[in-house]
Amino acid sequence: MALGGTTAVALVGLEGYVVEVEADISPGLPVFLIGGLPDAACRQSAERIKAAAANRELKVPLQRVTVNLSPASLPKTGSGFDVAIAVAVLMAAGLIPPGLARQVVHIGELSLDGTLRSVRGVLPMVAAAARAGVSHVVVPPDNAAEAALVPGIRVVPVADLSALAAAYAGAERGEPLPRHEPAAGSEPGPQPVLGRDLCDVVGQAEARAAVEIAAAGGHHLLMVGPPGSGKTMLAECLPSILPPLVDAEALEVTSIHSVLGRLPHGVLVTTPPFVAPHHGASMAAVVGGGSGAVRPGLVSQAHRGVLFLDEAPEFGTSVLQALRQPVESGQVVVARANACVAYPARFQLVLAANPCPCGKGHGKGLSCTCSPRVRRDYLGRLAGPLLDRVDLQLAVPAVTRARAGGPLPETSAVVAARVATAREAQAQRWAHTPWRLNAHLPGPRLRTGPWRLSATATAGIDRALERGGLTLRGYDRIIRLAWTIGDLAGRNRPVADDVAWAFTLRAHAGVAA
C-alpha cells in the first residue's frame, strides 16, 4: 500500500475551500475511484490522468487507485482538480517526491497529452489558498497572470505534467520552484472609461442632474418618457461619471468575471461594470443558477456597477420582482436542493420605460392610441414593492427645439469630479460605519440620533407620510437623496430645499409609488 496527498481548492459561489486530496494505491484489479462528492467532470479526471501520465512517461500502476477529496461532504465541481489528483496519485506511485508537494495547492485541468489547461475561478481559488496560509500555488501558464493578482503567494506556472514532476525533483535537491514573472511591458495601462459622454445629452437638464445625483449617492433610478427622449443615452452615460473601483471592490468584481471565464488576461477590473440585458432574459440568467453548478447571474455581473433594464415593463414579472432582494440587501441567494449559494449583487438599478405600449403617452402633440387602462396596466408592472425601492423616479419629456437650443452641456469629466468630491464627503461621514454611500444607509440611522434632520426640513415629507402618500421606505429614500443633494452642493447637512427637491425627484415619473 502507498499513500500520496496534496491540496486543491473547491469553489462554492465565490467562496473557496481548501481540499485535501488523498490517493491510495493498493493491490487489486485495475480501477481508479474518486470519492468526496465529485461531479461528472471531476469523476472523469481518472481517465484524463491515466492518459496524461502515460503520454508523459509517468504511468499510473495497473492496481487499485482510490482518491478521496476531503471534506467529503463538500461538493466538488469542474475539472480544476485534475492536477491535484494527478500529483497525489504520482506521489503514491513514487514518481513525485512527497516533500514540498504536500503543502502546495494545485489548480488546473489536464489534457490527454499531459499539458495543463486553464480553468475558471482561479482568482477566488488562489485568494482562498492565501487566506488558508498556503505559500505556493501551481497553475496553468494561461492562469498565471490572474493568480498573481493575489498578493502574498508564490505562483508556479507549469506547462505540463512531466515539467511539474521535474520541478518537484529539483525541489528535493534544494532548487526553488519556478515563479511567475510578468513579461516586460506587460503591465496593463489604464482601462478605458465605459459609456457615452454626458455632453452628448442635450435638452434634458433635470434628467442630467438626476443621473449625477444617482452616481454621487449610489441611488437607483427610473426614467419614464417617450421614445427618443434620451433615456437609454442617459443610462449609458452613468458609468462615465462613476469613480474607479477601490482595490477591495476591484477584487470582488474581478473574481466574478473569473468564475464566469470572462476575465481579460491577467487584468484587474477597475471600472464599474455596465450590464444591459435584453428584456427576454430568463430568471436564471438575471438572478443566477444553472442545471449544474450555480453560476452568477446578471445582477452579480453588475456588482459595484450598473444594471440597466431598458424597456423595463417588457421584462417578466417574476424577473422584476426577483430584483427586490438584491436591491435591498446587496446580495442574491440562489437555493438548490443540494446547495445554497450567495453571490454579491450591490449594483445601481436603472430602469427605463415608455409611458405606454405605443410610447406616446406623455407630451403635447403625441397621439397616444392606448386606453387609460392599458397605460395604467403597462406601468403597473413596475409598481409595488420594487418601485418603492427605487430612489429617483423621473419623467423624461420629449426634446423640443427650444429645449435643445440651450448652452453646451458639461462633459462627463466635469460631472465626474463633482461626483468624486461628493463620494469623498460620504466616505468621511460614514467612516466609522459599515457603509460608504448614502443609498446604503439604514433608515433608522438617518431618522434618529445626530443625523436626524430638523422638523422644518422634513415637514413636507412628514405630512406625506401621515396622509399615506409615502411608505416609510420611501420616506427613508427621500432622506438619503437629500443627503446626496447636499453633498453635491458642498453642505454639511441637507436643508429644506434639498429635501423638497428629493421629494420631487422621487414622485415625478407619474408611476404609483
Residues with Cβ within 8 Å of 356's Cβ and at least 6 positions away in sequence, in order, are 368, 370, 374, 375, 378, 379
Grid cell, residue 172, equals 528535493
Report the percent of the chain where pLDDT is more than 70. Answer: 92
DSSP 274-332: EE---TT--HHHHHEE-SSSPEE-HHHHTTTSEEEETTGGGS-HHHHHHTHHHHHHSEE
Confidence class of residue 25 from pLDDT cuts 50, 70 and 90? very high
Quote the domain boundaries for residue 64. Answer: 2-172
> Does any domain span residue 195?
no
> Does any domain span residue 185?
no
Any idea what DSSP says for residue 439? G
CATH code, domain carrying 217: 3.40.50.300
**Domains held by the chain: number:** 2
Give the whole-angstrom CA distance, residue 309 versus residue 240: 18
Mean pLDDT of 18-31: 95
In this predicted structure, the answer to whether residue 151 has a pLDDT above a threshold of 70 is: yes
Between 506 and 450, name the one with better pLDDT: 450
Residue 288 near residue 343 (C-beta atoms within 8 A)? yes
- Indicate the residue type of 165: A
> Does any domain span residue 513?
no
Convert the pLDDT of each residue in 363-388 to its tens digit.
554 578 888 888 888 888 887 788 88
Selection from 154, 136, 12, 151 nearest residue 84 by Cα? 136
Whole-number pLDDT of residue 186 = 53
CA angle 84, 89, 91 (to 5 degrees): 95
> Does any domain span residue 167?
yes
Residues 133 and 232 in one domain: no
Report the percent of the chain where pLDDT is more than 90. Answer: 66
In this predicted structure, the answer to whether residue 406 has a pLDDT above a threshold of 90 is: no
> Does any domain span residue 116?
yes
Give the whole-angstrom CA distance, residue 322 versus residue 331: 12
In this predicted structure, the answer to whether residue 193 has a pLDDT above a threshold of 60 is: no
How many CB atoms sit inside 10 A of residue 176's CB? Answer: 10
Exposure string of 319-346, with b = 16+ CB inside 10 Å and e = fewer, is bbebbeebbeeebbebeeeeeebbbbbb
Between 190 and 247, name the one with better pLDDT: 247
> Does any domain span residue 37?
yes
Convert the pLDDT of each residue in 456-481 to its tens digit.
999 999 999 999 888 898 899 999 99
Any idea what DSSP says for residue 354? -
Convert the pLDDT of each residue in 288-314 to its tens digit.
887 667 889 999 999 999 999 999 999
Residue 353 near residue 215 (C-beta atoms within 8 A)? no
Convert the pLDDT of each residue in 49-92 to its tens digit.
999 999 999 988 999 999 999 999 998 999 999 999 999 999 99
Residue 109 near residue 116 (C-beta atoms within 8 A)? yes
Q: How far apart are the first and last CA of the chain?
A: 71
Lowest mean pLDDT: which of 59-73, 82-96, 333-347, 424-438?
333-347
Any idea what DSSP says for residue 181? -
Whole-number pLDDT of residue 194 = 60
In this predicted structure, the answer to whether residue 282 has a pLDDT above a threshold of 60 is: yes
CATH code, domain carrying 86: 3.30.230.10
Give the whole-angstrom CA distance, residue 56 versus residue 73: 33
Whole-number pLDDT of residue 204 = 87
Exposure string of 19-43, with b = 16+ CB inside 10 Å and e = fewer, is bbbbbbbeeeeeebebebbbeebbe
Residues 135 and 239 in one domain: no
Residues with Cβ within 8 Å of 416's Cβ and at least 6 positions away in sequence, in order, are 240, 241, 242, 243
Residues 232 and 151 in one domain: no
Residues 294 and 253 in one domain: yes
Residues 88 and 221 in one domain: no
Confidence class of residue 508 from pLDDT cuts 50, 70 and 90? low
> Does any domain span residue 310?
yes
> Does any domain span residue 187?
no
Lowest mean pLDDT: which of 254-268, 416-430, 435-449?
254-268
3-state secondary structure labels for all residues of 464-486: HHHHCCCCHHHHHHHHHHHHHHH
Residues 247 and 106 in one domain: no
Residue 50 near residue 61 (C-beta atoms within 8 A)? no
Q: How high is the mean pLDDT of the chain? A: 89
Whole-number pLDDT of residue 402 = 59
pTM (2 d.p.): 0.89
Residues 47 and 118 in one domain: yes
Residues 160 and 232 in one domain: no
